[in-house]
Amino acid sequence: MGYSVGQVARFAGITVRTLHHYDEIGLLTPGERSAAGYRRYTEPDLERLQQVLFYRELGFSLEEIAAILDDPGADPMTHLRHQHELLRRRIGRLEEMAAAVQRAMEARKMGISLTPEERFEVFGDFDPDRYAEEAEERWGGTDAFEQSRRRTARYTKDDWRAITAEAEEVLEAFAAAFTEGAPADGERATDVAERHRAHITRWFYDCTYEIHKGLGEMYVSDPRFADNYERVAEGLSRYVRDAVHANAARHA
């Protein structure tokens, strides 16, 4: 009996006007007519419509689709193989785009707008994006987090070079004080702790003594952060924590 224009439009999720247009240009002409002269679509017509919609979704023009479908050397299996290959290519391209967008999102979270080459040049093997999601989970919405994100969003490669160089200097000062036996609560170690707090305040956010003490605890309790110090000298992470606490106490 075939299907009416309205039925096919509902099946396919397109308009009756679109089906009329396909008929007018010869792309999809109903195979039957009712006694009253109305269009009736057959099963082969629905199969052709499915092919049309596949190729439309893939970005082909109606003229290109007509040429593809009317190729006498192409059978239904040929069309399916062709569409499968085209879809695989599109999926691959979309996955690449999704990965690029994900990288951009992670970089924006950290406020770092450097190319991969620049990031490696500045940070070496350290990947700041590794901590982006956790940083937002821990501190997202806080004044310090938002202040840091605003500031770092403006930083250039030279800024990041200055930041990393200054951070290395502070780390080296901590390590020297530790290995030379300076007490963690002595003037030398607490002066370095104050330099560390000032470094954070200067480049990222207003680091109060309470916030600094919290960071000191994290340097010991979180193995990933502790490793930044332990790789320099075993026991250095606790030494830094103790110096940070002693520095906060002397400024209380």
pLDDT of residue 102: 66
pLDDT tens for each residue of 135-192: 555 555 567 777 887 887 778 878 888 988 899 999 999 999 999 999 999 999 999 9
Spatial distance between the Cα atoms of 149 and 109, rounded to a whole number of angstroms:
7
- Burial class (CB within 10 angstroms; exposed 0-12, middle 13-18, buried 19+) of 157: middle
pLDDT of residue 39: 83
More confident residue, 145 or 247: 247
What is the band of 73 on the pLDDT scale with cuts at 50, 70, 90?
confident
Check: pTM over 0.75? Answer yes or no.
no
pLDDT mean across residues, the chain: 82
What is the band of 198 on the pLDDT scale with cuts at 50, 70, 90?
very high
Spatial distance between the Cα atoms of 237 and 92, rounded to a whole number of angstroms:
45
Spatial distance between the Cα atoms of 49 and 71, rounded to a whole number of angstroms:
16
Percent of the chain at pLDDT above 90? 39
pLDDT tens for each residue of 80-117: 788 788 888 878 877 777 776 666 555 555 555 556 56
Q: What mean pLDDT do residues 20-43 have? A: 89
